[in-house]
Structure 1
């Protein structure tokens, strides 16, 4: 997996949205998602969804620069996780030839847990997204 595909996400409806400026906000975001009606009845998906959102948001905060927005929205029989940051020129790039103990494997994990993933540039920012089926 040399890089993530550059592609727009599928259309999505309502859901949850967060504006983030610091990794210290991530525990509150995770808790809000766990308690949300978006994941009601999806106990088997909840932990994977929280993990994907947390990995994507923490990557954006650590490497993306600028304002970070995260969202989880419904799209048919799936949930779309999308995180935007201010680093339009920096595509999501999975770690290569790195000891797993040094981190950097989150993008591989997200790709494994999702049925589709990608990223796109919009103005001065980029959005990284992943789709997790609800069935």
Structure 2
């Protein structure tokens, strides 16, 4: 699948938002996102539960893509729709269409969208004004 489907996510109730200007901020995004999902801070060296781990991993990958290929700032939003979390990562390069990196050798990067497709319930992208959004849905842990 060379391209993601261009579609908007379901309407969501916003819960948290992070604005990133640099890859250095990804570490605090991971910790803060874990706390937003679980209600608990992530202890140093602790492993994440399955759903929070997947959300944090995909958020990190999508935010890295946005920081690398888009124009700042990168905006990461976590919302909720019924029994799913909706992760929305936005950048200001609507002309750069998200695409799977099928032709890259292992270790050359480009696995972010593959991981998102593997771990998320659904995945897509859309453009609103001058902003590109890539989104993914995850089940809310029970």
What TM-score results when the alignment is normalised by the length of structure 1? Answer: 0.92
Let me know the Cα RMSD of the aligned residues.
1.6
1:77 aligns with 2:83: yes
Q: Map 1:5-44 onto structure 2 (within 5 A).
A: 5-36=5-36, 38-40=37-39, 43-44=49-50
* Gap regions ≥5 residues in structure 1: none
Spell out the pairing of 1:1-135 with structure 2 (5 A cutoff).
1-36=1-36, 38-40=37-39, 43-134=49-140
Query: Would you say how many aligned residue pairs link Structure 1 and Structure 2?
Result: 134
Task: State the SS of the aligned residue for 2:16.
Answer: strand
The answer to whether the 8 A contact 2:20-2:72 is kept is no
Alpha-carbon distance between aligned partners in 1 of 2:111 and 2:24, rounded to the nearest angstrom: 21
Structure 2 unaligned regions, length at least 5: 41-47
- TM superposition shift of 1:59: 0.6
